[in-house]
């Protein structure tokens, strides 16, 4: 996809989803974007187009962006049908115009999912992910000073695997890429990165049950094991974590159903 050291300027037709606000009808609008440096980023190209639109007195294209270095997960849009556009393991802000050829028609759409309603143009409301996180994607721990290093032993392979899951930036590309708009890769990453380390064990069952149940309630789809999510993930988080989530959820459900509970009604110091 990436042309080697190309410096020749290129022009593309940008086909962008324009939608004035939530629940309003939207449509694709074509814009000519000319004489672009192949080394400018996709977002810089949108900046240029927006400058031109503003100069003409038109409404600029609304798109979400923040760090522009692939670590925040804010810049989320679907470019030619793939979340975050061409390339592997990159966010939209890390896509460069050299990924396209002169004369290409480039279609840009917001992430499409019922749980991610469009706010305006390319911006979607991804707070559904926050709700899943709030359901259990944390450790209820003393928030005091930093604990002693190595006070809690963590095997290196577990730490490595936990870190793989923890690279999730919560951008929502997995949902956008999934044929069923399922959030399983996101939930799997969040459940696994805490479930793999000792600090996460106490709330492990409660966490997986609550996060999956919240995911279901928010109207995400179901996993059909097609692995589009992990292919679109800017952090290349493996769908192995989904298998791990399935197993975790199954075990937690059985334990929640059959584990004895305290029947004590009194006693003690009172």
Binding site for other proteins (CB under 8 A): 15, 17, 26, 28, 78, 80-82, 107, 109, 112-118, 177, 179-182, 212-213, 215-216, 219-228, 231-232, 238-240, 242-250, 253-254, 256-258
Tokens of 106: 């480039």
Q: Cβ of residue 184: shortest distance to other proteins, in angstroms?
A: 8
Nearer to other proteins, 51 or 115 (CB): 115
Q: Cβ of residue 3: shortest distance to other proteins, in angstroms?
A: 21
Nearer to other proteins, 75 or 174 (CB): 174
Q: Cβ of residue 55: shortest distance to other proteins, in angstroms?
A: 27
Nearer to other proteins, 197 or 210 (CB): 210
The DSSP H or E segment spanning 249 is helix 240-258
| Dihedrals phi, psi of 43, to nearest 5 degrees | -70, -35
Nearer to other proteins, 26 or 60 (CB): 26
Q: Cβ of residue 187: shortest distance to other proteins, in angstroms?
A: 10
Q: In whole angstroms, give the CA distance from residue 203 to residue 206.
A: 5
Q: In whole angstroms, give the CA distance from residue 245 to residue 265.
A: 35
Question: CA separation (Å) from 187 to 78, 125, 228, 239?
Answer: 21, 17, 15, 11
- Say if CB 87 and CB 1 are below 8 A apart: yes
Any idea what DSSP says for residue 14?
A: E
Nearer to other proteins, 46 or 223 (CB): 223
Q: Cβ of residue 242: shortest distance to other proteins, in angstroms?
A: 7
Q: What share of the chain is helix, strand, coil (3-state, %, to 5)?
A: 35, 15, 50
Q: In whole angstroms, give the CA distance from residue 83 to residue 98.
A: 18
Nearer to other proteins, 159 or 236 (CB): 236
C-alpha angle 93/94/98, rounded to 5°? 110
């Amino acid at each position: 996809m990436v042309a080697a050291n190309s410096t020749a300027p290129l022009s593309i037709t940008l086909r962008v989803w324009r939608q004035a606000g939530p629940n309003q009808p939207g449509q694709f609008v074509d814009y000519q974007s000319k004489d672009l440096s192949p080394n400018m980023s996709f977002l810089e190209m949108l900046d240029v187009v927006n400058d031109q639109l503003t100069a003409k007195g038109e409404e600029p294209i609304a798109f979400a962006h923040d760090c522009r270095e692939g670590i925040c997960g804010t810049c989320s849009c679907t470019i030619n049908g793939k979340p975050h556009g061409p390339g592997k393991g990159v966010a939209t802000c890390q896509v460069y115009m050299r990924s396209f050829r002169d004369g290409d028609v480039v279609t840009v759409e917001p992430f499409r999912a019922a749980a991610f309603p469009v706010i305006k143009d390319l911006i979607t409301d991804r707070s559904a992910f926050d709700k899943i996180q709030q359901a259990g994607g944390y450790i209820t721990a003393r928030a005091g000073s930093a604990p002693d290093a190595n006070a809690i032993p963590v095997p290196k392979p577990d730490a490595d695997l936990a870190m793989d899951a923890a690279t999730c930036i919560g951008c929502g590309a997995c949902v956008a890429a999934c044929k069923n708009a399922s959030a399983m890769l996101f939930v799997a990453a969040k459940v696994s990165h805490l479930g793999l380390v000792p600090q996460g064990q106490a709330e492990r069952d409660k966490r997986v049950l609550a996060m999956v149940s919240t995911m279901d309630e928010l109207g995400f789809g179901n996993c059909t094991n097609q692995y589009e999510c992990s292919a679109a993930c800017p952090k290349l988080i493996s769908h192995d974590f989904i298998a791990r989530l399935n197993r975790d959820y199954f075990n937690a459900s059985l334990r929640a159903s059959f584990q004895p509970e305290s029947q004590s009604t009194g006693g003690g110091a009172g």
